[in-house]
Structure 1
Amino acid sequence: MFIIDPCSNRITPVPSKKFNELGFTERQHLQEWLEHHPEALSTGKDDELLIIQKEFDGFDDTRERLDLLAIDKSGNLVIIENKLDDSGRDVIWQALKYAGYCANLKKLQVVEIFQRYLNKKAQLEGGEAAHADKILVEFLQVDDLESMQINTQKSQRLIFVAANYRKEVTNTALWLSQFGISCQCFKATPYQAADQLFLSIEQIIPPPEVSDFMIGIMDKEDEEKSTTNELKHRHRLRLEFWQKVLDGLHASSCNLYNNISPSKENWLPARPGIPGVSYVLIFGKNEVRVELYIYHPETEKNMMIFQQLKEQQDSIEKYFGAHLDWQPLPNRKACRIQYAMPVDGYDKANWPEMVQWLIEHIVRLEEAMKKPLEQVKLALGKTV
């Protein structure tokens, strides 16, 4: 790591440090940093992690506890083991034991584990605990708890974090990866420049140049796995429903979805040409919804866009013709403005009304947001 001095056109190295030199400990510091910023271990927006427990010790007949337990966007449990300046020799064996314990956890047990974590956080912070099932439904982008696929067979992932790794650890991690066991090693290095401290976290196993290739192979294997009859049924329903919606949209004044194809997912996005902003149609089991979804690559700009639109809430809602649900989503790297209608979505007798409702309200939302989004686009251009 170097400091750039534009005036002298020179760079100055920032000296790396050891965690123990700076007085940092595994539990009080590294673990806390990763708990509150799990995106440090994400390799992209599709690899987002949600921490669901810390120092988890809910294993039968053992007093052992894993550092952090997370879930990824595919519903896989992620065992995160943190070490400081040295990985030690036994960290792989330790994590494999935890993965074996966690492999037996059923869906409702995972929800209960997450709820206990949320309850403890709320107690410490003096607030009201959020609902674990609602957060998981939102995070996994599914209709309800029943449609979640969590902790399926052989899906557990291992993540290791340390400043230095012993050769036996890296060799074993690479070897396990050949058998479909997801092992990632992240190198965490603290730096100090004068009175400023920095932390660099980079993935070293698998090497970045082969990571995408390995992920591609794993994705292909996952795709080839047979899914449940319920999921197949829902996919067929969604494809059929979205085709009806798109047919109606093509005959309307809305051009957002002219080049969009039907999807097996429960959401159908369209982009208006502003970075990080999408219009989204939602087809759920219990509701249909239109929304403006804000997910800018630069996290701080999400709230800037949201706040700029929020300042015009009265005029936007007047133009739209109803009160909108404004959701800043502070625990995620996104914001959302939505309007929903409750309905029995899987009853095809309701589909004509649902299709008409979605078309009418996405047209109204686009019209209501047109001028405010033009102002947002100008503001984003000024901040580039």
Structure 2
Amino acid sequence: MYLIDKKNNRISKIEEKTFSELGFKEREHLQEWLANEPAIFGEDLLIIQKEFDGFSDTKERLDLLALDKDGNLVIIENKLDDSGRDVTWQALKYASYCSSLSKEEIRVIFQDYLTSCGSGETAEEKLCEFYGKEYDEISLNKGTGQRIILVAAKFRKEVTSTVLWLMNYNIRIQCFRVTPYKKDDKLFLDIEQIIPMKDAEDYVIKMAEKAQDDIMIENKLKSSDALRLEFWTALLKEMAKKSDLFKNISPKKDNWINAGSGISGVPFTFAISKAYARVELYIDTGDKTENKKLFDYLHQSKEAIETAFEEALTWERLDDKRASRISSSIDKNSYDRENWDFIIPELTERMVRFEKALRDYLKKYKK
């Protein structure tokens, strides 16, 4: 940091110091500065408690507790010259402790703070003033919106590494570096947000949200894969009791399984989704003209086929696509296990009737 001498058009270096060199203490000085000037963090924060120890079964003390303009609790942990190695863990513990605080508990905590400061104001009045709303309209500490602010002159690598990793999981955490300076008999304090870097904060947050979305999608996919594997295992076991059509087919993670019909590219298929479960003849020989020819051949016998199947079928020529399809659907969520006791017996029974109704026509066409 440099001091500008406007008169002589020169700059002179201001000496960087440590808090210990200047005789400053964590609780007595730095904490008081932050509590009395929360705007130093670049946003409107309302300090509602210092040295908060209202955690059951523990004597631990949270340095500063604040509220932001969105009603989120902000846990502020301040250190002096060295962050230490445990500050992230401490802050996470305090955030977890505070996550269950109700609006009324927060009001009481704030009122205790105001009383200890000798203020004649009520917490309710201060909250209404801060949010510009009636007290009944104010919502505090919603869900998992708790935030963490870490303050220190120097952050250890294990701390910054942990913070960056936590941000990938939507933990809202910031690191501010504070540096004292001395010039003659004057003292200065500089504060800088280093994680996430202020200029890149929106980008970093969006990337963290994207990373979390990707993880959630991946977990859902893995969960869906396991569920489909379980479903097909149960369905094939039931199918084996009624027909040999799928006897050489193994369970898989896809949302469909096939068995041959005697014509290449025209399998009998079980297909499932969150909206349906169905049996189908999927016609895709690789040649659009051939696909439509086979579909039309079968469609000529639509009435006889449906009579043999004992109910109407869905006939989809799909002129704008290469393939065609004939199917029968059950309008139920196949991903809900509670529906399986109905879907599996019904679907396998339909496949038996479906294959029987189409078998002779496919054999004749093949010849």
TM-score (norm 1): 0.53
Same amino acid, percent of matched pairs = 55
Q: Is the 8 A contact 2:47 2:65 kept in 1?
A: yes
**Residues in 2 aligned to 1:216 and 1:89: alpha-carbon distance in whole angstroms:** 28
**Residues in 1 aligned to 2:207 and 2:21: alpha-carbon distance in whole angstroms:** 41
Structure 1 counterpart of 2:38, which letter? P
Structure 2 counterpart of 1:152, which letter? K
Could you tell me which of 196, 200, 206 is aligned with 2:186? 196
Task: Indicate the residue corresponding to 1:5 in structure 2.
Answer: 5
* Unmatched runs of 5 consecutive residues or more in structure 1: 123-127, 221-384
Question: Helix, strand or coil: the match of 1:191?
Answer: strand
**Residues in 1 aligned to 2:13 and 2:47: alpha-carbon distance in whole angstroms:** 34
Question: Helix, strand or coil: the match of 2:7?
Answer: coil
* Unmatched runs of 5 consecutive residues or more in structure 2: 211-367
* 1:175 Cα deviation after fit: 1.2
How many residues align structurally?
Answer: 210
Structure 1 counterpart of 2:170, which letter? G
* 1:147 Cα deviation after fit: 1.7
Q: How does 1:224-303 map to 2 (within 5 A)?
A: none
* 1:138 Cα deviation after fit: 1.8
Could you tell me which of 93, 96, 105 is aligned with 1:97? 93
* 1:212 Cα deviation after fit: 2.8
Could you tell me which of 82, 87, 93 is aligned with 1:86? 82
For the pair shown, the structure with the greater C-alpha radius of gyration is 2
* 1:219 Cα deviation after fit: 10
- CA deviations on 1:289-309 (whole Å, 9 max, x unpaired) are xxxxxxxxxxxxxxxxxxxxx
Task: Indicate the residue corresponding to 1:351 in structure 2.
Answer: none
Task: Indicate the residue corresponding to 1:136 in structure 2.
Answer: 127
Task: Indicate the residue corresponding to 2:152 in structure 1.
Answer: 162
1:74 aligns with 2:70: yes
1:149 aligns with 2:136: no
**Residues in 2 aligned to 1:219 and 1:51: alpha-carbon distance in whole angstroms:** 28
Runs of 4+ in 1 over 3 A off after TM superposition: 214-220
TM-score (norm 2): 0.55
**Residues in 2 aligned to 1:69 and 1:35: alpha-carbon distance in whole angstroms:** 9
**Residues in 1 aligned to 2:169 and 2:125: alpha-carbon distance in whole angstroms:** 34
- CA deviations on 1:270-321 (whole Å, 9 max, x unpaired) are xxxxxxxxxxxxxxxxxxxxxxxxxxxxxxxxxxxxxxxxxxxxxxxxxxxx
**Residues in 1 aligned to 2:74 and 2:30: alpha-carbon distance in whole angstroms:** 17
**Residues in 2 aligned to 1:147 and 1:97: alpha-carbon distance in whole angstroms:** 29
* 1:216 Cα deviation after fit: 6.3
- CA deviations on 1:4-44 (whole Å, 9 max, x unpaired) are 122332211101000000000000000000010011112xx
Task: Indicate the residue corresponding to 1:23 in structure 2.
Answer: 23
* 1:209 Cα deviation after fit: 2.3
Structure 2 counterpart of 1:10, which letter? R
**Residues in 2 aligned to 1:151 and 1:141: alpha-carbon distance in whole angstroms:** 17
Question: Helix, strand or coil: the match of 2:16?
Answer: coil
**Residues in 1 aligned to 2:101 and 2:12: alpha-carbon distance in whole angstroms:** 50
**Residues in 2 aligned to 1:13 and 1:208: alpha-carbon distance in whole angstroms:** 25
Q: Could you say if the C-alpha distance between residues 219 and 106 of structure 1 is closer, same or farther in structure 2, counting changes exceeding 3 Å?
A: farther
